[in-house]
Structure 1
Amino acid sequence: MPAFPSRRTVLLAAAVALTASTTAACGAGGGDAGGRTTVRIAYQAIPNADLVVKNQKLLEKALPDVDVKWVKFESGGDVNTAVVAGAVDLGLAGSSPVTKGLSAPLNIPYKVVWIHDLIGDNEALVAKPGIGSVKELAGKKVATPFGSTAHYSLLAALTAAGVDPSSVRTIDLQPQDALAAWKRGDIDAAYVWTPTLSELAKDGKVLVSSRQLAQQGKPTADLGVVTDAFAAKHPEVVTAWIKAQDRAVAQARNAPDEAARSIGAELGLPADEAKRQLSELVLLSAEEQTGPDYLGTPGAPGKLAANLHDAAVFLKGQKAVDAVPDEAAFGRALAVEELGRAAN
């Protein structure tokens, strides 16, 4: 079988290089250089409001005295690695990588401060023609980025279909690498997200989506995390970041064409296609996220804590984490005070 190229090494090398340069200038975990604060933000090519914040420079406009550095990653697993390396302060990672990050052996000192989106039909399992069900994947080669929400959903889909995950040849590929392998005929299926998902679906069959798995009790989301150290040292930056995200969500809801132009510019997509992909996600305002179904409020963590705990139990069963923190630990990892300050 031919070797599968991966961009992960290049991405992480870039993150480490950024760490070295930023740390030299402003200290570990962001900091001050000549009176200026630096915040390093991890982002991914996902058609949600985070790309609106980046493209329209909403945070830079809100914080003219802060140096904002955006660093692109291809999966939440890579974001976790970068956080451990000290390369980023804030960033987007899926709920599965965040669950792993908060569990042993990683035990990353960060907390969830935002829900970028609830994952729906924008993330799915696509198979080559001739494969009509998840059950038929036994003995097949399936690509997905290891440690991502897609990986978690793939394991959940296989388990729900009665397929032993060990009977599937699961290959660790980032979305664009999975697309290249698909075109070469090296894989039989892939669990990935848009925009790559849209390319695979052109000549493949969607077997199950993350929206369907959520309805079966395995919800996933893209989450915003902030390191404990940065949140403590620069609460004003965290507040401004949340407010910028909230503005972008409002724009995506009330002026979707404008938001889609920004998302399309970031992804290299026509605005109409970006708008379609945006519509596949569920976006929540800051006020909504303080509700009991999501992050909650001080003293009353929301259901997100239980969802992360349930995911950790599942991942422990798959031997993807060593130990499962109790639900209260996940509740303490929800940045409800920071969210509450920005929502008011």
Structure 2
Amino acid sequence: MNAITGVSEALVVRRGAHIDKPADLVGKTIATPYASNCHYALLAALKHWGIDAQRVKIVNLGPTEIVAAWARGVIDAAYTWDPALGRAKASGGKVLVDSAEVGKWGAPTFDLWAVRSDFAQAHPDFVSKFVKVTTQAIADYRANGKAWTSASRQVAEISRLSGAAAGDIAQLLAGNLYPSAAEQASPELLGGGTADAIASTARFLKEQRKIDRVLPDYRPTVTDRFVRAAIAAR
């Protein structure tokens, strides 16, 4: 597991849209990228608030398009991520809820590492070493995150690999949660909870017609084996 989505993704409402509480979203236009983490979190938030998604107008816009639509005043709210989220907030937008809170309501979203089963079976040592390196990077960030500035070596490397602007990366990193190896191996995450969250996400993707079917059980697709191996190798 790489990260648990936190405040870096949120539902932000435009100043002047007269949205002070969730019920005020009824009849409003909300932008979000379809079939994304944000779309999933938006629908989960509406459900939590008891608002039928048919009572709001959800439009499919990517982050760059959201920034432009926000500037023109043609949308009332957006569920998006940084840096688009930060630009909306800088112009007076107010966050109604973020993905950290939605996760507590039972709809968490993650960034996960996936490996083909046949590759993992053929090269378990490689996968274990990969997990060890990634969990070490998480440990370094948790201990020294303030040093990961736009001028740091770590952020420069992330910028090179991802294409994201170095000036945006520190804010993006700070907006998520990074579970330690021990936390990842817990029953709440790779020990069970992550499989439940994937099942919920799969049902959402099927509703959005992005996948054809939902598996009856996602537990066989999630393992804490390699994280536990990384812990033991320290």
1:227 is aligned with what amino acid?
R
2:230 is aligned with what amino acid?
A
Tell me how far 1:191 sits from its aligned partner: 0.6
> What is the match of residue 189 of structure 2?
294
TM-score in terms of structure 2 length: 0.80
* Identical-pair percentage: 35
> What is the match of residue 230 of structure 2?
342
Does residue 325 (structure 1) correspond to residue 215 (structure 2)? The answer is yes
> What is the match of residue 97 of structure 1?
none
Q: Distance in 2 between matches of 1:217 and 1:255?
A: 30
SS at match of 2:177: coil
The answer as to whether partners of 2:35 and 2:208 remain within 8 angstroms in 1 is no
Q: Distance in 2 between matches of 1:309 and 1:278?
A: 26
> What is the match of residue 100 of structure 1?
none
User: 1:264-303 alignment to 2 at 5 Å?
Assistant: 266=159, 267-270=164-167, 274-296=169-191, 302-303=192-193
The answer as to whether partners of 2:184 and 2:224 remain within 8 angstroms in 1 is no
RMSD: 2.7
> What is the match of residue 306 of structure 1?
196
Does residue 116 (structure 1) correspond to residue 2 (structure 2)? The answer is yes
User: 1:134-283 alignment to 2 at 5 Å?
Assistant: 134-202=22-90, 203-260=92-149, 261=152, 262-263=154-155, 266=159, 267-270=164-167, 274-283=169-178
Q: Which runs of 5+ in 1 are unaligned?
A: 1-114, 297-301
Tell me how far 1:315 sits from its aligned partner: 6.1
Tell me how far 1:205 sits from its aligned partner: 1.3
TM-score in terms of structure 1 length: 0.57
The answer as to whether partners of 1:149 and 1:220 remain within 8 angstroms in 2 is yes
Deviations 1:217-251 (A, max 9, x none): 22222222223344345444433322221121111
The answer as to whether partners of 2:132 and 2:227 remain within 8 angstroms in 1 is no
> What is the match of residue 31 of structure 1?
none
SS at match of 2:179: coil
SS at match of 1:135: helix
Tell me how far 1:176 sits from its aligned partner: 2.2
Tell me how far 1:139 sits from its aligned partner: 2.8
The answer as to whether partners of 1:135 and 1:158 remain within 8 angstroms in 2 is no
Tell me: higher relative CO, structure 1 or 2? Use CA pairs within 8 A at least 6 residues apart: 2
Tell me how far 1:152 sits from its aligned partner: 0.7
Q: Distance in 2 between matches of 1:333 and 1:185?
A: 43
Q: Distance in 1 between matches of 2:67 and 2:116?
A: 33
The answer as to whether partners of 1:286 and 1:343 remain within 8 angstroms in 2 is yes
